[in-house]
Amino acid sequence: RFLDSLHRHLSSPGTAILKREEPPAGSAEPGLQEKSNNKTFSEVQKERREQAQRSILISCPKKVPEKKLLKHLCQHGEITNHFFFESFGIHAVIEFSKKESIASLQDATFIPRGETEFPIPFKSRFFHLNLKNPSNQTSDGMLVQCSNQSSPLNADLIQTLCNAESVEGQIITLMRTLQITEENIRLRYLSCSLIEDIAAAYFPSCTIKPFGSSVNSFGKLGCDLDMFLDLDDIGKNSATKTAGPFLMEYQVKSVPSERWATQKILAVIGECLDNFGPGCVSVQKILHARCPLVRFSHQASGFQCDLTANNRIAMKSSELLYIYGSLDSRVRALVFSVRCWARQHALTSSIPGAWLTNFSLTIMVIFFLQKRSPPVLPSLDYLKNLADARDKCIIEGNDCTFVSNLDRIKPSENTETLDILLCQFFEYFGNFSFNKNSINIRKGKEQNKPDSSPVYIQNPFEPALNISRNVNESQLERFVHLARESAWILQEDKGRSSKSSSHPWGLAALLQPSVSNKSKAKKPGRGPTGEAVRKLLESIKADSSKHSAATREE
């Protein structure tokens, strides 16, 4: 039943025009998409977290005796869902219908004791399937079908795009190929939940929630897993008990600053993950960063994790992006294309540096869509005006209020197609006055730049902060140059009637390592100048001598 629904989920037509109703990846069960469409961000999170608490992770042998495995597990309770995936070996995610089944399984589970290994006992929800009689069991074992957890290879992606019918079809295919899947989302919530078990040893009733691209509807297979340690619920419980004469010394200890408290909390949790975290390796405590974090690799799930605490604004901005991504199906499609394009040209990187980040690029796409006429997306101020009393949210003096109920937001009257929007995005930012103007999604209008940073994108909830403060002049130049080139390529393609499946065209052409050699017919007066022209000529020269056969026929 599970494989059927997975198949239905993955085989949805890649080139169909998306309707507004289509929910973001993973916000719904496959086959139940319509029903959960109108859930708010916190409802989705709550449901997913509860599902993760009923789930376990099992490291399995190469050939999994699937039936036997399920039969064993069924003794502890009903299984509502399961799937297999590969990360340093085969793993299974098993979802029980009740949490109690896990305690029952834990009670019936051995803690290994070897002669050379000295395990530290910790009742985790990460198990190892130990075959008592391997030869017997292996004959029963099968190579199970594994759910895909990584992006396709570049060449395969380009080929898939070339087979599409139109640029719009390519954009939608790209999104559907790269977006995180239902299983990947379950695994992300489960990983947070497993880390929560460890953190709860220190801070009972703390929660660990995913944020960033895992939940904001723009997640790509392979993206990092941002985790937020929330200790607020603990505070909430004790806040009501102010009448008695006692103060709890164990929980309440005065420290010089909130930042200091965050650093100390993350330090002990980092230590805990390093010593007791099953499957947690390469734990780094990066406590002096602007936003202190613990970075580690969760080997069992394959995720690179960044654990932060006291980071409520980032959680709120994830919700805002989720709302923008859910409002109009063109938003996610466009963001995926722009993010993928930027990554292909090394405009973004997984290493921190002077380049644009995916978060900045997403805000740029949202801003561009607010600027269309009629707008595709409303301003943040408009979303704030639609908020009700329950939506009110002030964090550290910053007003983070906006409507959470998607039904209250009027759909856009803009009917522009995705190919027009993608081309216009490059045209818009290829000619944007970065030297004078800042990007402000709260107003949906550019503002005068308050300082001389090359790119100024106002943080939606902390107006005094620029989210692209790290970007330097030369990275901006590269972005502008590539944006113009890409706009020309898409415009050139417009007139072409026959689409080739062997030579990259449309979006596939934009994702080629160098777009420079594709734009021979530059429009006068709009080309890049000075240094950029020199680099362009150099790259044409280098490319034509090295790969003359590979260039596209004009």
Q: Give the footprint of ligand CTP on this chain (CB under 6 A).
A: 211-213, 216, 223-224, 226, 314, 317-318, 357-359, 467
**Residues belonging to the chain:** 554
Q: 207 contacts which partner out of ligand CTP, Mg ion, none, CB within 5 to 8 A by kind?
A: none
Query: Residue 22 or residue 462: which is nearer to ligand CTP going by CB?
Result: 462
Q: How far is the CB of 176 from ligand CTP (least distance, A)?
A: 17
- Provide the CB-side half-sphere exposure for 474 (13 A, CA): 5
First to last CA, the chain: 50
Q: What radius of gyration do the chain's Cα atoms show?
A: 25
Cα 358 from chain centroid (whole Å): 9
Q: How far is the CB of 326 from ligand CTP (least distance, A)?
A: 15
Q: Which residue has the tokens 């869509």?
A: 369
Residue 175 burial class via C-beta count within 10 angstroms: exposed 0-12, middle 13-18, buried 19 and up? buried
Q: How far is the CB of 486 from ligand CTP (least distance, A)?
A: 20
Query: Residue 114 or residue 352: which is nearer to Mg ion going by CB?
Result: 352
For residue 302, CA distances in Å to 50, 87, 89, 376 come to 22, 6, 10, 36
Q: How far is the CB of 225 from Mg ion (least distance, A)?
A: 7
Q: What is the β-pairing status of strands 126-128 and 398-399?
A: unpaired
CA distance 3 to 344: 33
Q: 438 contacts which partner out of Mg ion, ligand CTP, none, CB within 5 to 8 A by kind?
A: none
Q: 358 contacts which partner out of Mg ion, ligand CTP, none, CB within 5 to 8 A by kind?
A: ligand CTP
Q: How far is the CB of 201 from ligand CTP (least distance, A)?
A: 26
CA distance 160 to 448: 43
Q: Which residue has the tokens 């790259």?
A: 539
Q: How far is the CB of 469 from ligand CTP (least distance, A)?
A: 8
Q: How far is the CB of 224 from Mg ion (least distance, A)?
A: 4
Among 34, 21, 29, which residue's Cα sits nearest to residue 4? 29
Using CB positions, name the residue nearest to ligand CTP: 212
Q: How far is the CB of 343 from Mg ion (least distance, A)?
A: 13
Query: Residue 336 or residue 505: which is nearer to ligand CTP going by CB?
Result: 336
Query: Residue 188 or residue 481: which is nearer to Mg ion going by CB?
Result: 188
Using CB positions, name the residue nearest to Mg ion: 212
- Provide the CB-side half-sphere exposure for 95 (13 A, CA): 19
Q: What is the β-pairing status of strands 303-309 and 394-395?
A: unpaired
Query: Residue 171 or residue 400: which is nearer to ligand CTP going by CB?
Result: 400
Output DSSP code: residue 364. H
Structure tokens at 551: 């260039």
| 103 SS3 class | helix
- Residue 413 gets the label, from left (phi > 0), alpha (psi -120 to 50) or beta, of alpha
Query: Residue 321 or residue 509: which is nearer to Mg ion going by CB?
Result: 321
Query: Residue 184 or residue 519: which is nearer to ligand CTP going by CB?
Result: 184
Q: 357 contacts which partner out of ligand CTP, Mg ion, none, CB within 5 to 8 A by kind?
A: ligand CTP
CA distance 247 to 172: 57
Q: 318 contacts which partner out of Mg ion, ligand CTP, none, CB within 5 to 8 A by kind?
A: ligand CTP
Query: Residue 96 or residue 228: which is nearer to ligand CTP going by CB?
Result: 228
Site of interaction with Mg ion (CB under 5 A): 212-213, 224, 226
Q: How far is the CB of 220 from ligand CTP (least distance, A)?
A: 6
Determine the angle formed by the axes of helices 418-430 and 167-178, rounding to 10 degrees.
90
CA distance 371 to 461: 20
Query: Residue 222 or residue 527: which is nearer to ligand CTP going by CB?
Result: 222
Query: Residue 305 or residue 423: which is nearer to Mg ion going by CB?
Result: 305
Q: How far is the CB of 378 from ligand CTP (least distance, A)?
A: 19
Q: 216 contacts which partner out of ligand CTP, Mg ion, none, CB within 5 to 8 A by kind?
A: ligand CTP
Q: 18 contacts which partner out of ligand CTP, Mg ion, none, CB within 5 to 8 A by kind?
A: none
β-bridge mates for residue 3, sequence order: none
User: Are the beta carbons of 212 and 184 closer than 8 angstroms?
Assistant: no
Q: 398 contacts which partner out of Mg ion, ligand CTP, none, CB within 5 to 8 A by kind?
A: none
Q: 359 contacts which partner out of ligand CTP, Mg ion, none, CB within 5 to 8 A by kind?
A: ligand CTP
C-alpha dihedral sign at 515, 517, 522, 528: positive
Q: 161 contacts which partner out of Mg ion, ligand CTP, none, CB within 5 to 8 A by kind?
A: none
CA distance 308 to 226: 8
Q: 277 contacts which partner out of Mg ion, ligand CTP, none, CB within 5 to 8 A by kind?
A: none
Query: Residue 44 or residue 102: which is nearer to ligand CTP going by CB?
Result: 44
Among 396, 195, 197, 160, which residue's Cα sits nearest to residue 303? 195
Q: How far is the CB of 29 from ligand CTP (least distance, A)?
A: 24
